[in-house]
């Protein structure tokens, strides 16, 4: 069975490797990551994960599993996606530092096997608490170049981990892929 990750995220690639998936392809999805009015944040995340997976699924053929994912950070019902500028990253981190907030990661798995199509779509939530972070520490993180391609402008598994006071829920969901959910869906192919 051909396994395809519809993501350019190096973190998601590492998580598939961590699961023991030895052979998979990466095909970056060209799906738009747009926010749609009237949907909950969880529905937004699932919609984006589905559109990423579906775009790659539709451009491939044969027996295959396509994995799409999306991660959003939420605090007080405000969405923190990937920052567009360094100033945006600074503002996000300034608002998130010293707080508890949620990281929502949605997972979409589209599978075709011998002409039979199935899909799995779900989300998981991890609560993250950041310590107070000084402006200088925020600037240092942004200058490292690692803030710009991450929801909320941070990652719990990199150098930024020194600012994470605690997490409740799946560590891997906080990174960007619920590997326990994914395992349950594709374990017979690993």
pLDDT in tens, 90-103: 999 999 999 999 99
Across all residues in the chain, what is the average pLDDT?
Answer: 94
Task: Report pLDDT for 32.
Answer: 82
Which CATH code fits 2-189?
3.90.950.10
**Percent of the chain whose pLDDT exceeds 70:** 100
pLDDT in tens, 61-80: 999 999 999 999 999 989 89
Q: Which residue has the higher pLDDT, 149 or 49?
A: 49
Is 70 a catalytic site residue? yes
Transcribe the chain into DSSP letters.
Answer: -EEEE----HHHHHHHHHTT--S-EE----------TT--HHHHHHHHHHHHHHHHHHT--SSEEEEEEEEEEEETTEEE---SSHHHHHHHHHHHTTSEEEEEEEEEEEEEETTEEEEEEEEEEEEEEEPP--HHHHHHHHHTT-STTSGGG--SSSGGGGGEEEEES-HHHHHT--HHHHHHHHGGG-
pLDDT in tens, 101-143: 999 999 999 999 999 999 999 999 999 999 999 999 999 999 9
pLDDT at 190 over 90: no
pLDDT at 34 over 80: no
Task: Tell me which of 30, 70, 149, 184 is the catalytic residue.
Answer: 70
Task: Report pLDDT for 101.
Answer: 97
């Amino acid at each position: 069975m051909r396994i395809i990750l519809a993501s350019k995220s190096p973190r998601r690639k590492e998580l598939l490797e961590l699961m023991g998936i030895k052979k998979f392809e990466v095909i970056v999805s060209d799906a738009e990551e747009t926010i749609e009015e009237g949907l909950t944040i969880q529905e937004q995340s699932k919609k984006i994960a589905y559109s990423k997976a579906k775009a790659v699924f539709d451009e491939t053929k044969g027996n295959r599993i396509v994995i799409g994912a999306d991660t959003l950070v939420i605090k007080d019902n405000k969405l923190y996606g990937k920052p567009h500028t360094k100033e945006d990253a600074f503002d996000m981190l300034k608002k998130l530092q010293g707080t508890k907030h949620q990281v929502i990661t949605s997972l979409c798995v589209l599978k075709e096997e011998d002409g039979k199509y199935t899909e799995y779509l779900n989300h998981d939530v991890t609560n993250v608490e950041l310590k107070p972070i000084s402006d200088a520490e925020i600037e240092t993180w942004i200058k490292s170049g690692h803030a710009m391609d991450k929801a909320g402008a941070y990652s719990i598994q990199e150098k930024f981990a020194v600012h994470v006071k605690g997490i409740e829920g799946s560590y891997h969901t906080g990174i960007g892929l619920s590997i326990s959910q994914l395992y349950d869906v594709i374990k017979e192919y690993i």
